Amino acid sequence: MSILKIFCTIILTACITNGNESGFCEISNECTKDVETGSAQNRFTGKRYILYDVNPAEGFNLRRDVYIRVAVFLKRLIEKDKEFQWQLVLPPWGKLYHWQSKNIGSQERLPWSTFFDITSLQQYIPVIEMYKFMEEYSQGREIQLDCLYILQNDEEMFKTGKFEDKNELVDCDHDSLRYHKLGQHLYSGPFWGYYNITVRNVKCLKFHGMAYDLSQNLMPMQYRSVMFDHMEIALHDEYGSREYWRARRSMRYNFELYDIAENYRKTFLNSTNEDANTKRPINWIEEKSRRNAKGGPYLAVHLRRRDFVIAHKASVPTIMDTALQLQKNMDKLGLSLLFVATDAEQNEFEELKSYLPQYKVMKFVPSNYVINKFKDGGVAIIDQIICSYARYFIGTHESTFTFRIQEDREIIGFSSKTTFNKLCKTNQNCKVDGFWSIVW
């Protein structure tokens, strides 16, 4: 080891041991360049980490939308701030409302690689899995984040209907916080189910505005890691823009999920990418605008039941009305294969089939391997992939599950007329709401 490296190592060790409360101290550039240590070197580099979480009640597909908000925010931040190396820490997936399968092992703390291709995400922004962040951020087992902002709506705006940008620190109501004080500068909390993560500062932020407006709260000279909770409150910076769609296109699924869906399509739905003209480049960056995707010879429907039957009873049809609408479209298109993606109970699915005896009605049933490896979230994605390659798709009004399928079909290159269709309350012609076409 050179004399310079020995000297720098001594300074780094002293700085870590005796440094100020924020954990930063002055050190020469030569030391940060030449000292080849793990966390010690990382402490004095320009690496900064953004973490986030959302309302626990939010579902899988809304959380995917929140990711896009954060990704576009980080992309803009990186373009404007060249001083620091910004990275987004991907929040592990936990047990959600629709993830109710039993005897398949834990559905807590699932990494993003279970569902998505990390390399594809990294081609848009620098992202890192939580377990990788924990290895990189601290050599010890305990992880202490620097600052947590809890985003809160301004309820007065919703009462008056007068909305304006707001980014205001307010006193926290500690009785209602999910985070609990352990000491003068230390809080515990849910932190995606990890019990070894704490945070030094908790601040409540009354916020209304675009996600990028949160950049003023980062304070990278003071904080190395900043977390935002209730990130669903922040709005899209560029919803529907080219940048939005670049972020969305980067969200390629785990490639094994594509393979499983492709094999199912070929085996049960007589559908291949060659025949359906749906072949895509391996790299999403190489995708180009087109509207000539044909799709496999089947109609796909997303039939949302369970909570929607009550929460959206004004728009959710009965099983019989659903069958009548599907029959009308199947006959119009001359199709005999129907694929159903649904959270309905098995008796409702059997009822639907009973009304459609002239068609082959299918749904994906995962093998033990698939359900145990990819869990309920992976099975839902397989359903979405199969729907996204259909000749014609009909969705459920106001369902984020449907929205994600429509986005995939826009990316693949289907005609909008085959994509933005929905089940109606009754078997009558109903108006299709406005939709966001892809921007290249």
Q: Kindly report, as residue ranges, where domains of CATH 3.40.50.11350 are found in the chain.
A: 254-418
- The position carrying tokens 């769609």 is 245
The model scores a pTM over 0.85: yes
Q: Kindly report, as residue ranges, where domains of CATH 3.40.50.11340 are found in the chain.
A: 47-242
pLDDT of residue 164: 94
| Spatial distance between the Cα atoms of 387 and 383, rounded to a whole number of angstroms | 6
Under the banding of pLDDT at 50, 70 and 90, the label for residue 417 is very high
pLDDT in tens, 247-305: 999 999 999 999 999 999 999 999 999 999 999 999 999 999 999 999 999 999 999 99
CATH of the structural domain 47-242, one choice from 3.40.50.11340, 3.40.50.12780, 3.30.200.20, 3.50.50.60: 3.40.50.11340
Q: Is 359:328 a contact under the CB 8 Å cutoff?
A: no
In terms of Cα–Cα distance, which of 231, 172, 173, 310 is closest to 51? 231
Catalytic residue check, 156: no
Active site residue: 26, 58, 156, 348, which one? 58
pLDDT in tens, 177-223: 899 999 888 999 999 999 999 999 999 999 999 999 999 999 999 99
Provide the terminal-to-terminal Cα distance of the chain, rounded to the nearest Å: 52
- The position carrying tokens 């959710």 is 316
- The position carrying tokens 């033990």 is 368
Residue 23 has pLDDT above 50, yes or no: no
Class of domain 254-418: alpha beta
